[in-house]
Amino acid sequence: MHQEENEDFDNFPITYSIDNQILMHREAHFGGDFALMLDYYTNEGKGVNKEFELSRIEELAKLEQQTGKDLVTFMLSGPEIEKIGKAKKAYKDLREVYSVKNPKNKIPKLIVDLIFAENADTDISVEAAIAEKSAIVPALVDLLRNEDYYDPLFPGYGQARALAARCLGKIEDKRAIISLYESIGEGDFFDDDLILSALHSIGEPAKSFLLKVVHGQPINHDNEQAAIALINFKEDPEVSLACLSILKEIDITKHEALATYLVLACEGLPKASQTQLIELADKLNTPKTIKQDIKVLANFWHV
């Protein structure tokens, strides 16, 4: 590298972790064009990564312009470039769906519309998918189960699976229950809220499935995951009584996380059963955090 290029790089110290992510984001979504990326970020598109400062993107663009070198060629590793290639292929495959003239099946296009939808188009794409009702459920489940679409580097900026969950919740088809359940904890809190809401919307079939799982033995992560989902059913006396029953059976000191979720699902306990939960708080070996959670419920019940 020429001396003036070295000087340019000295003036712009590179922080490889975040800068690499910015470059990967640029390559995958904007065809390697900083101008397109900056325009998108200035207009606050749905795929804006909040960890990327606009000023840093501008600095990297300036650095690349001054050196005349594509930053990707010496900053990104082989695996990173390979991942970009995978994301670009995903874009290519999705766009090919649009090239099919007069398709007999419109569902693939509706799924692509959902993935590509920007802020202004999201509600329209969601409603179009929901209108297909049970016919689109298998395709939505496939999207929900595709781990690539939790990655912000892929089409949809990591938000496609959350949109699939939103649609499934509106359609209320029990075929989605297991896939929704297995997706809990895979994304961020916003994704989980949509997934848990979708399970609650499906109603009785989802509730029955979750109650079966939460009673499973031996106790493991599945019990905790089911208990988390049952919190959305906390006003249902059947759910609250089932959770109270488990709390009375398990060793709370060994399963504190599970106990926490079970307590939170006890809000709908009938008045006659509320004292049984409060008695658990009076036991000496009940963890302090569990006692506090029970106390919050007792105050809510005015007991």
With respect to residue 4, please indicate whether it lies within any of the assigned structural domains.
no
Residues 191 and 238 in one domain: no
In a domain, 211, yes or no: yes
- Note the pTM of the prediction, 2 decimals: 0.89
Looking at the structure, tell me whether residues 225 and 293 fall in a common domain.
yes
In a domain, 8, yes or no: no
Q: What is the pLDDT of residues 151-181, one digit of tens each?
A: 999 999 999 999 999 999 999 999 999 999 9
96 & 55 share domain: no
Ranking 4-18, 38-52, 207-221, 272-286 by mean pLDDT, the lowest is 4-18
Domain co-membership, 103 together with 67: no
Residue 37: exposure state from Cβ atoms within 10 A (0-12, 13-18, ≥19): buried
Q: pLDDT digit string (tens) for 73-95? A: 989 999 999 999 999 999 999 99
Final residue before a domain boundary, out of 30, 50, 76 = 76
Both tokens of 225, joined, read 């995951």
Encoded tokens for 106: 């419109």
Q: pLDDT tens digits, residue range 192-230? A: 999 999 999 999 999 999 999 999 999 999 999 999 999
Percentage of residues in the chain having pLDDT higher than 70: 94
Residue 254 lies in a domain: yes
The parent domain of residue 292 ranges over 204-302
Residue 9 lies in a domain: no
Distances (CA, A) of 12 to 9, 15, 38, 64, 217: 5, 9, 18, 10, 57
pLDDT at 4: 46
Provide the number of structural domains found in the chain.
Answer: 3
